[in-house]
Every structure is written in structure tokens, then in C-alpha cells.
Amino acid sequence: MTGAVNSHEILVMPTTALDEKSADYAIVCAIPIDAKGITMIFGRQANDDRRDKMERIDSGKPRFAAVGGEAVIVFDDVFVPHEKIFLNGETEFAGAIVYRFAAHHRANYGACKTGLMDVLTGAVSYLAQAQGTARASHIKEKVTEMIHLSETLYSSSIATSAEGWRTPSGGYMVDTMLANVCKQNVTRFHFEVARLALDIAGGFIATLPSELDMKSEEVGHLVKKYFSGVEGIPVEDRIKIGRLIEAMTGGTALVESMHGAGSPQAQRVMIFREGDLANKIKLAKSLAGIRQKAKGVQI
């Protein structure tokens, strides 16, 4: 459903492995977004009112404020032409489709959120310059940690592809263990990076008045006076970057990193399952001088 409202067509697929009794749900297909019988109910996102009211600075994303958002998509007797149906009752493939789709989604989450974290790192670095704190050793330590986490995530995403393999059809499949590891780190690192960003940014993000106040004749000069930073960086730029940081560190953005492409526990189940404990136990026994004749892994 992510991004569906901005798309021409949407892809529909099951969310879990299916048995024969569920054949009616073993459907994968593509549908135009405006097909008859589809209702999209747009969800609320953090601070979406600012966007709707065209308060562009306060939205945090002045150039892209009008886009994005999730919707609940309701199907009521929707017709799908035959050539847009890719699975039609073959329940034996449902699990594999779900898992392969999830693996790709989880893998590219790492690259996506690396970009987000890089922007956030740039934003707080610029704000620290505007506030005159950029050279403080504890600020540099925190920026270093943000980069470290972002690059750790990036490396997981790269490795997921580097360890991928060619399917008989000529497509490529990512490494499923590393795809889950990558997404699991997203569910942690975005929060920690947001925490560090808010630490560096300072408390003004919670007290900053509306851009309408900043532009008002009555109090605008006061807002500009008391929120100014170092000389040479316009107060409006400090406010803009503060709003960008606000938008990237709270609310919907964090929920999406947590649950997009599957919730944390879904990844943990797969990490345990693909961990090949039988082989790890074999290695440990060998080093400890224990005869193999391995009992089955019971864990």
C-alpha cells in the first residue's frame, strides 16, 4: 500500500504461505489505481495538517510536501483482466512469492534508510554549524556514530546483493539471511540515529513557532531575533533545517522503519530459521574435542 496513491497500477499478493483450502486467496495481480470497486482511505501521518495547509516550511519538506502517504485499500468486486493475473490459485507457490518479495523489500530498505540517515547527518551537521556547536568534541562523536550506523546499514544492503544468486529465469535473488539482518538493523538504527539527531539539534525544535508567526508583522521580528544563530547563516535557514530534522525523526517516519517490509519479529523468526544451527554446533563440537555423531538440533 506504500506509495499506492502515487502509482498508476498497484500489485496485489498474499501476505503469508497458504494451504489448499485458501486457494481463493492465492492471487497475485496488477490493477489500475482507479479501477472500479477500489476505495482508498488515506491515513493520517505525523503533522500532515501542515502539509495540507501549504505551510511548506513547517512541513519540513518545502519542495516535496504535497506527496506521499499510505492508504487502506478496500476491494469490492474488482475486475482484473486475465493478462494481469500472475498467480491464480496455485497455493504451493504462495509462500515462496511472499518470502522472495519480502527479502527484496527488506534488502532495499537498507539502502533507502542509508539515504535518509545521510540526509539527517547532513542536516544536523549544518544546524550545528548554524548554532556554533559543530566543533565540540561530543557533537563530533555523535555525528561519527550517525555515520557509523548509516554505513553499517549500507554494508548490509550491499552484501545482500553481493551474496545474491541468479535464478533459472535470469532474474537475481538476494541473500535472504542478510536481507532479514539488514531490515532488522533498520528497525533499530533509525531510532538511534533520530535520538542522536535530536540530541545535537537542541530543544528549539520543540518550541519553534509556526512559519506564519515568523512571517507575521506583529511578532515575526521577535521570532527572527531570538532564533538566530551564528552570523552568516540566515535565521530562516536554521528554521528550515530544524523543521526537516523534526520531520525525519518522529511519528510516521519511525513507525515505517519499524514495520515496513515486515515487523521486527518476522525478521527474527527467519534469522533463527536460516541460522543453520546444526552446522554451527558441528563446528563447536569439533573445536571442543567432542565426537560428532550429532544429535539432531533440538533448539
Interface positions, 102-121, toward a second copy (CB under 8 A): 118-121
For a second copy, which stretch binds (CB under 8 A), given 8-16, 96-104, 137-145, 166-174? Answer: 137-145
Q: Can you tell me which residue has the cell 528497525?
A: 187
Binding mask 277-296 for a second copy (x = CB under 8 A): x-xxxxxxxxxxxx----x-
Residue 187 binds a second copy, judged by CB under 8 A = yes
**Residues in binding contact with a second copy, number by CB under 8 A:** 126
DSSP conformational letter for 295: P
Residues numbered 206 to 245 that lie near a second copy (CB under 8 A) are: 206-210, 213, 219, 222-223, 226, 232-233, 237, 240-241, 243-244
**CA dist list (Å): 216 to 50, 224, 241, 244, 279:** 17, 11, 20, 21, 68
| Closest CA relative to residue 297, chosen from 270, 278, 272 | 278
Closest CB 75 distance from a second copy, rounded Å: 11
CB nearer to a second copy: pick between 18 and 197: 197
Question: Which cell goes with 42?
Answer: 488515506
What region does 273 belong to: left with phi over 0, alpha with psi -120 to 50, or beta? alpha
Q: Which residue in 158, 46, 25, 30 sits closest to 91, CA to CA?
A: 25
**Closer CB to a second copy, 18 or 174, in the complex:** 174
Letters for 240-269 (x = contact with a second copy by CB under 8 A, - = none) are xx-xx-x--xxxx-xxx-xxx--xxx--x-
Quick check: 9 binds a second copy (CB under 8 A)?
Answer: no
Q: Which of 83, 70, 84 is nearest to 41 (CA)?
A: 70
Q: Which stretch binds a second copy (CB under 8 A): 8-16, 24-32, 80-88, 140-148?
A: 140-148
Considering only residues 61 to 80 of the shown chain, the ones binding a second copy according to CB under 8 A are 61-64, 70-72, 74
CB of 25 to a second copy, least distance (A): 16
Cα–Cα distance for residue pair 229/142, rounded to 1 Å? 21
Distance CA 29, CA 38 (A): 14
Nearer to a second copy among residue 91 and residue 156 (C-beta): 156
